Amino acid sequence: MTALDDQILDLMRRVSERAILPRYRNLAAGEVEDKGGNDPVTIADKDSEALLREGLAAIDASLAFVGEETAHADPAIVERLDRPCWIVDPVDGTRNFAAGKPPFGIIIARADGGVAQSGWIYDCLTDRFCSAHRGAGAMIDGERVASRPTGQSPPIAAISLIFMEEQRRDATRRHIAPAYELVDIPYCAAEQYPRLALGTNDVSIFERTLAWDHAAGVLWLNEAGGKAARPDGSPYRVDEVGRTGLLGAASPALWDELADLYAKMD
């Protein structure tokens, strides 16, 4: 791993041990709120983001900071995504965390020019550390990763419908679902992207594509040899705020098959 990887891993571990794990299955009344649309936030999210912001500033204070919770409090924060910045999801999988079950984790990306240049995904419970740098491959715990499909027929699909409008849900069920064996989604991008590379799932569809959820995972999966891109094949950019639709697959061939089916929904 690079020196930067070591710094990020150390920060993620410290924040997990200090702000997240002590509250796992130990949230008091009033420590869980709903941001709207069944989108929970906990005291762990807020405390974790504050510590991550402090720690990342110590690593490189020249980068702007875009965190999920600060952006929720001040939507203008997302305007920083078109400049060099840190992008942070302090507890990805909050829905699971608040319910006292896995998976959940921390996601950090470093972006420049609207594109993720580095990404890190940390599983707080297992200590799994995914890292990637543009053009340098993808790693898990310091070992290089090559994305591998499940080899199942039909392929395994984890399709998130929760942020789709009902019409698109119906179209997905008609045009895409019959071609795959459907499995439950983990409600956690920090888990879903590793599943695509590690032979657990073959394809995924994401409707909501917020930068703190996807910047690191898209980079990591592509560097591992899988493919994540917009349904029209264009690259995912962190500064395309409000744009929806993202396809991920364990291989470019599986991605092409999914994209062909997705196009028939329109």
Hey, where are the domains in the chain? 3-144, 156-263
To 5 degrees, how large is the angle CA 52–CA 192–CA 234? 90
Q: H or E segment at 181?
A: strand 181-182
pLDDT at 266: 65
To 5 degrees, how large is the angle CA 195–CA 200–CA 203? 70
Residue 149 CB coordination number (10 Å): 19
pTM of structure: 0.95
Say which CATH superfamily domain 3-144 falls into: Fructose-1,6-Bisphosphatase, subunit A, domain 1 (3.30.540.10)
Three-state DSSP class for residue 203 = strand
CB 43 within 8 A of CB 64: no
Residues of the chain with pLDDT under 70: 37, 164, 266
| End-to-end C-alpha distance for the chain, whole angstroms | 43
pLDDT at 36: 75
pLDDT at 35: 82
Look at domain 156-263 and name its CATH class: alpha beta
Topology match between the domains 3-144 and 156-263: no
